[in-house]
Amino acid sequence: MIRALALLLGLAAAPLAAEEIVLGLSQDEVAITATFDGDDILVFGAVKRSAPDPGGLDVVIAVSGPLLPATVREAERRFGIWINTASAAIDAAPSYYAVATSAPLAEILSETEDLRQSITLPRVIRSVGTGVDSPADFTDALIRIRAGEGLYSLTEGAVDFEQDTLFRTGFALPANLIEGNYTIRIFLLRGGSVVDRYDTVLAVQKVGLERWLYNLSQELPAAYGVLSLALAIAAGWLASAAFARTRR
């Protein structure tokens, strides 16, 4: 009883957050269909205050796909051909990662806060057990490759932040998304430090024929193989019949 009373008194004495994030999303899920060629999502919100606004706020929004292991290989040209000479196993890297900011990231985020919150890509990617002497080089290579594929991006100044109260930005999701839960993190910063943070989840799921084929391949791989073979034979026969008909 005494411990419970002390806890309540402690909570009552603790200061409430002066500024909090109130978030909204244009949609809470993305459907991957047979004709899926990407999608756009809008992240918007406001800053709720319980004290006068001291100003100097900035917003960073990060969207992260499922964390998965990855292998990065280094190739060299020897005897006129390219061969793999080294490889590194990345413990976990987001399948998709996009960051949008209201100002240049280096100016509004301190190294200490980045280390604590894991906002920039080098902090998000875990490459402890790579088995190579210079894991940072392979991490940089992975970032460069996926950025070229449209999976990694940093857009500075893309967050509209009006009067230190209302903010909004958009993310263009590419067609090569994988299925899973995508985490959206919103950071409110002042003087390089995080004042408040809000996390939410965006579900990316296969639907319709895509979902049926995926479930079939996972649950009945033999039936999926037979179906794929039958479809390939049927497609080949139709193509052959169409070609023969055009020659007549």
- Domain of 77: which CATH number? 2.60.40.1930
Q: Does 60 reside within a domain?
A: yes
Place of tokens 């967050």: 159
Residues composing the chain: 248
> Could you tell me how far CA 33 lies from the centroid of its own chain?
19
Give percent above pLDDT 70 in the chain.
72
pLDDT tens, residue by residue, 73-92: 776 666 667 665 677 888 89
Distance CA 50, CA 47 (A): 10
Domain of residue 244 covers: 207-248
Nearest by Cα to 98 from 190, 205, 167, 177: 177
Pair (166, 147) in one structural domain:
yes
Pair (44, 141) in one structural domain:
yes
Q: Which of 227 and 165 is assigned the larger pLDDT?
A: 165
Q: Which residues are within 8 A (CB) of 28 and not within 5 positions of it... i.e. 6 or more apart?
A: 202, 203
Neighbours of 118 (CB within 10 A): 15
Rounded to an integer, the average pLDDT of 214-223 is: 60
Distance CA 87, CA 83 (A): 11
pLDDT tens, residue by residue, 170-204: 999 998 888 899 999 999 999 999 999 999 999 98
> What 3-state DSSP class applies to 137?
helix
pLDDT tens, residue by residue, 86-138: 778 888 999 999 999 999 999 999 999 999 999 999 999 987 655 556 667 88
